Chains A and B, each alone.
Chain A
Amino acid sequence: DTGVSQDPRHKITKRGQNVTFRCDPISEHNRLYWYRQTLGQGPEFLTYFQNEAQLEKSRLLSDRFSAERPKGSFSTLEIQRTEQGDSAMYLCASSLERLQETQYFGPGTRLLVL
């Protein structure tokens, strides 16, 4: 399967714990995005990488959130000191750099903070 993959698919954690999610984009895609989606809402943009550079971050991304893409390939999203409000589906997408780019989404990581 050459699509976007995410790991883990599900994560249950206690409030206050740190969690880290991984995204492996489609191999030739230089753009990578992280989104958060809650029930009944569309995905909300969190951050964007072009190769290894993090070029944009949403105001939704508090200082408890950090994302990296160290070699311009896979990316990690870490949430420190999780809160119940962090419970959501975290989606990763990748695309090529071009006009009208199509974003291909991974299956997401569903986080539940107890």
Chain B
Amino acid sequence: RKEVEQDPGPFNVPEGATVAFNCTYSNSASQSFFWYRQDCRKEPKLLMSVYSSGNEDGRFTAQLNRASQYISLLIRDSKLSDSATYLCVVNSNTGNQFYFGTGTSLTVIP
């Protein structure tokens, strides 16, 4: 079983839509969770950390469900500039290895 699993998509949504991504992880001892964004042929960049209580940053909301071992990302009022691949990241039980999902591709259509 992979450490992190994501639906690769693609998700094609119209501008202004709300879209949600889920990601499941296998290691119940993981302590750190992130969503990264990767544009085509660019390096990943941190979108947001995911905290146990859930957190929001503008149009983006991240949630963590430890019991079911999944994290989610909700994007409201999608913009064309949100088109990218979204990578779910979870750390190992040692805390030193970070496992990335395959990424979920999002295209926001005018």
CB distance from B64 to the nearest CB of A (A): 12
Residues of B within 8 A of A56 (CB): 94, 96-97
Q: Which one of B32, B42, B96, B99 lies within 8 Å of A48 (CB-CB)?
A: B96
Let me know if B43 and A105 touch, CB within 8 A.
Answer: yes
Chain-A contact segment, one of B12-20, B65-73, B76-84, B100-108 = B100-108
Q: How many A-B residue pairs have CB under 8 A?
A: 51
* Residue in chain B with minimal CB distance to A108: B43
How many B residues have CB within 8 A of the partner chain?
A: 23
A40-B43 in contact given A45-B97, A102-B49 (Cβ < 8 Å): no
A residues with a Cβ closer than 8 A to B are 33, 35, 40-45, 48, 50, 55-56, 58, 91, 99-108
* Residue in chain A with minimal CB distance to B43: A105
Residues of A within 8 A of B54 (CB): none
A106-B43 in contact given A40-B102, A42-B102, A100-B32 (Cβ < 8 Å): yes
What are 25 residue pairs bridging A and B, where the CB atoms are less than 8 Å apart in the complex?
A33-B98, A40-B8, A40-B102, A42-B4, A42-B6, A43-B100, A44-B100, A45-B98, A45-B100, A48-B96, A55-B96, A56-B97, A91-B43, A91-B44, A99-B32, A100-B32, A100-B49, A101-B32, A102-B46, A102-B49, A104-B46, A105-B44, A105-B45, A107-B43, A108-B43
